Structure 1
Amino acid sequence: MDHVRNANPFTSQSSYSRGSVLAWRIVTPVSWLILVITSIYYSATKPHEGKYSRHTIWGQNSHRHTPFALNSVIASLYWIALYILQVPYLSSLFKEDNTLPLTLASHFTAHNLLTFGFIHLWCRSYFWWALLLVIINWFNLTFAYFRYPKTPRVTHVAIIAGPLAWAFVSLYWDGAAAVHSHHTAARIVANVFLWTWLVYGAFYIVAFKDWAMGFALSILAAALGVGQFFTAIIALQWIFAFTIMAVLFVASLPVAAPGVFGGDVFKRGEVVSEDRERAPLLAEP
């Protein structure tokens, strides 16, 4: 019974054994640190081993410059911001009332390890295996999103919404590289599939009043637009990308700042404010 209670995400902290709490306090920050170090290392250094062509993260992005290749500066700043925002969540694991951070630890750790594996495979041109990890991570983060809607704002942005938006974009980023989409027909298909970014972001904005997903996808659409603009000025991909960026950004504004746009009409759905971070998930019997 103790194992069942420890696995239940809606129990109080007292239901976690001292060993499981200690384990997550060690494993989660270590997985985060491994990912940060790997990201920095492979942003500057390409792998020295591997069967296929080897490049840095953004060197591969340039070498496989598909219709979904991103601007390295904007995408890097996106991840730097996420890493910084994830620090408060990691520190919350060491607080006394840390039930919610503990329940998210397995998803966040899985995300870190899957992204760590993706970077290694991506830089070594194992695109199909890398795509498999992206798909698994997308399901992992999507499950976390729907399973834990009542997360504090900063935690939601850094641990769920930001990584989930990136995982969604990575499906196209890595998938395009895997199928060698450089020819005209592939670009036409990419022009069509790019609009799924708008549909995906609009779903979270409308259904969950989630401005975090809207802004995150807007930034990544900007990264795509800039990346494609410097590839071919006379093209539709960057025009569509900037259009999607603008629509998502404008649609997210009234959700993020309801007081400016008409009171609480656009109040964010079930994601709670920071002052409820320590509130228990369920009332004690």
Structure 2
Amino acid sequence: MPEVTNPFREASSYSKNAITAYKILTPISWLVLVITSIYYAFEAPHEGKYHRRTIWSQNSHHHTPFALNRIIVSIYWVVLYILQVPYLASLFQTDNASVTLTTALNLAPWFISNNLLLFGFIHLWCRSYFWWALLLVVINFIQLTMAYFRYSPKLSGDSRPAILTHFGVLAGPLAWSFVALYWDGAAAVHAHHFAARVVANIFIWTWAVYGGFYLIVFKDWAMGFCLSVLTAALGVSQFLTVIVAVQWIEAFTIMALLFVATVGVAAPGVFGKDVKRGGVVSEDRERAPLLAGGESV
């Protein structure tokens, strides 16, 4: 069976054993990540070779040009965890042949991997193993990108379950993994000096390019919104600590650009309907853009 030989392979049907396994493993991996993130948000590790701090104590201690605001990011993750609950519930449908269940099962290996990689990242981040943590972030970014390209078109449409699944399982985690590359990477290279801030002032514009790619090619307002929120977290953090720098100005500028573009893509009748989707999937797949009224291209 495809799900046995390669769990990341797309399957049209699943055996009862595979369905049962995913019904057990998927919620457990989610619960482990939720508990771990809450615990280490308030409690530092009690073992480890290097400095041990909570998630946000590390963020404050290593206040790089990509340090984030703890309140905004915490709210981001609380909302993301809540949005993932409907996806978990979709795994427990009684109709084993339903398209919704099959899609949920196809996403399960990617979702579990994301949870486990984030679980490992939190442990490494709090114990100051920044380079190892960065490796997990890179792996997670790659696997989430692959999942996005494969399944985002299948979750297109205006149905609430599809929107919530896309937001909670694909767009939200992928946007975070992109931001975490800079967050952890800056801490790993000890980017505290003036030269590092100059470089950061240039690299922050890749956030606008990355978000613009998904807004233009996929017309994905969910990615645009997630990235605008995380960019706001960067801007607030930099403004409250390094007012004389320009990083917060650029962050708020990028946030505004992403947010305005997101509203334009999400709102019916605005320029979002005129943007063509990229050919990242085969022609025989449905490639209707997110919230575009179900039209195909």
Match of 1:253 in 2: 263
What residue identity is the alignment partner of 1:50?
Answer: G
State the alpha-carbon separation in 2 of the partners of residues 108 and 24 from structure 1: 10
CA displacement at 1:263 relative to structure 2: 8.9
Deviation per CA, 1:219-272, whole angstroms, max 9, x where unpaired? 00000000000111111100000000000000111111124x379446996356
- The one-letter amino acid of 1:122's match is W
Change in Cα spacing, 1:55 to 1:263, as seen in structure 2 (3 Å) is closer
Q: SS of the counterpart of 1:161?
A: helix
1:79 aligns with 2:77: yes
Instruction: Please state whether the residue corresponding to 2:192 is helix, strand or coil.
Output: coil
Number of positions where the alignment pairs a residue of Structure 1 with one of Structure 2: 272
For residues 235 and 7 of structure 2, the distance between their equivalents in structure 1, rounded to whole angstroms, comes to 46
- Is 1:9 the equivalent of 2:16? no
Q: Residues 72 and 263 from structure 1, CA distance in 2 versus in 1: closer, same or farther, beyond 3 angstroms?
A: closer
2:236 is the counterpart of 1:220: no
Which residue of structure 2 aligns with residue 124 of structure 1? Answer: 127
- In the aligned structure 2, how far is the partner of 1:62 from the partner of 1:7? 37
Is the aligned partner of 1:187 residue 2:185? no
- 1:110-121 counterparts in 2 under 5 A? 110-121=113-124
Indicate whether 1:148 and 2:151 are aligned. Answer: yes
Q: Gaps (5+ residues) in structure 1? A: 277-285
Aligned counterparts of 1:263 and 1:171: Cα–Cα separation in 2: 29
Contact in 2 for aligned 1:122/1:130 (Cα 8 Å): yes
Alignment of 1:1-285 (within 5 A): 3=4, 8-11=9-12, 15-95=13-93, 96=95, 97=98, 98-149=101-152, 150-151=154-155, 152-259=162-269, 261=270, 264-265=273-274, 270-271=288-289
The amino acid that maps onto 1:270 is A
Compared with structure 1, are the counterparts of its residues 26 and 137 closer, same or farther at alpha carbon in structure 2 (3 Å cutoff)?
same
Deviations 1:200-221 (A, max 9, x none): 0000000000111111100000
Write the distance in 2 (CA, Å) between the matches of 1:10 and 1:255: 32
Identity of aligned residues (%): 63
Aligned AA for 2:175?
A: A
| Contact 1:254–1:266 (CA under 8 A) maintained in structure 2 | no
Aligned residue identity for 1:244: I
- TM-score normalised per structure 2: 0.87
Distance 2:115 2:251 in 1: 28
- State the shift of 1:6 in Å: 8.0
Structure 1 Cα separation of the partners of residues 165 and 212 of structure 2: 21
Q: TM-score, normalised by structure 1?
A: 0.90
- 2-side partners of 1:239 and 1:47: how far apart? 35
Mapped partners of 1:145, 1:67: distance in 2? 28
